Amino acid sequence: MPRPTKAVAIAPSTFERLRAAHPDAHCELVHQNPFQLIVATVLSAQATDVIVNKVTPDLFHAYPDPAALGSADPAVVEQIIGRLGMFRQKTKNIVGLAKKLVAEHGGEVPRSLAELVKLPGVGRKTANVVLGVAFQSPEGVVVDTHVQRITQRLGWTKATTPEKIEPELMTIFPRRDWDMLSHVLIFHGRRVCYARKPSCATCTVTDVCPSAFKAELVGRKPGRADSDSAGERRVRKGRGVAKDERAKASRARAKTSQGSKVTSKVARAAKSKQSGPSRAR
């Protein structure tokens, strides 16, 4: 087995320093019980916790338990969560999830990874959020985009996918740290180690971070998108579409012009043919 790097060897102490820097780190999805947590986590796919927290109060007021949500009219649920991306698929997932909780688990959220991942819309990451936050018994480490980025920047892993990063973190850190590890790293990613412009100047672990003051080059996909805003990309895409449309229009005009020339030549030839015999007579 290869000898761990210095960054990996000191990872537990680095984590304790980050934990001290973010003593309020916690799951930011607002919930009152395991049922609300699993629903909110399913809704958070490709959405921020902030926007999810804006729709769940109305959702849970209308459907406070699995039985109520399982019998809900999907069209009404869609109206409630409509501001979320993929709201139709998410409606299908949470209604189906609620039905399965009632039918197979007595209306209770199961406490094992194997059972949780059988529910609609629930993958390994969502399951471990529920197990860690609701039951304090995670079976793995939640690796979202923040955790993925920061563990790469800190030199804890060279892997580039959650599936490969998670087992490495489970080896480095004891089980008792698995849940809080993701919360602390997510807090750090949202408040200090940003994707585009990490605030290394205010980071408390720059002295042990191999990516310090060059972190924007680590943990992100390379390419022009790194320096472009979403708005700039939309403008560029729009220009490309406009260019294509202009090219199509130009080809159409050329084809029309060519057709007109051929038609004109045919007309002149026909006129000449008709006038010839007339003069002979």
Note the pTM of the prediction, 2 decimals.
0.76
Local structure of residue 68 (DSSP, 8 states): H
Q: Which of 49, 54, 92, 144 is catalytic?
A: 144
Q: Which residues contact 182 (CB under 8 A, 6 or more apart)?
A: 132, 141, 142, 143, 144, 147
Tens-place pLDDT, residues 61-83 = 999 999 999 999 999 999 999 99
Domain limits, the chain? 6-24+142-217, 34-135, 229-281
DSSP per position, 146-180: HHHHHHHHTTS----SHHHHHHHHHHHS-HHHHHH
What is the structure's pLDDT at 74? 97
Superfamily classification of domain 34-135: Hypothetical protein; domain 2 (1.10.340.30)
Looking at residue 62, its amino acid is A
Tens-place pLDDT, residues 201-236 = 999 999 999 999 998 888 766 544 444 444 445 545
What is the structure's pLDDT at 269? 60
Confirm if 44 and 52 have CB atoms less than 8 A apart.
Answer: yes
Q: Which of 90, 100, 125, 179 is catalytic?
A: 125
**Neighbour-count burial of 187, counting CB atoms closer than 10 A to its CB (0-12 exposed, 13-18 middle, 19+ buried):** buried
Weakly modelled stretches of the chain, pLDDT under 70: 1-2, 220-250, 252-281
Per-chain mean pLDDT for the chain: 87
What is the structure's pLDDT at 22? 98
Known catalytic membership, residue 73: no
Known catalytic membership, residue 243: no
What is the structure's pLDDT at 226? 43
**Quick one: fold of 6-24+142-217?**
Endonuclease Iii, domain 2 (1.10.1670)
- Closest of 144, 163, 150 to residue 216, by C-alpha: 150
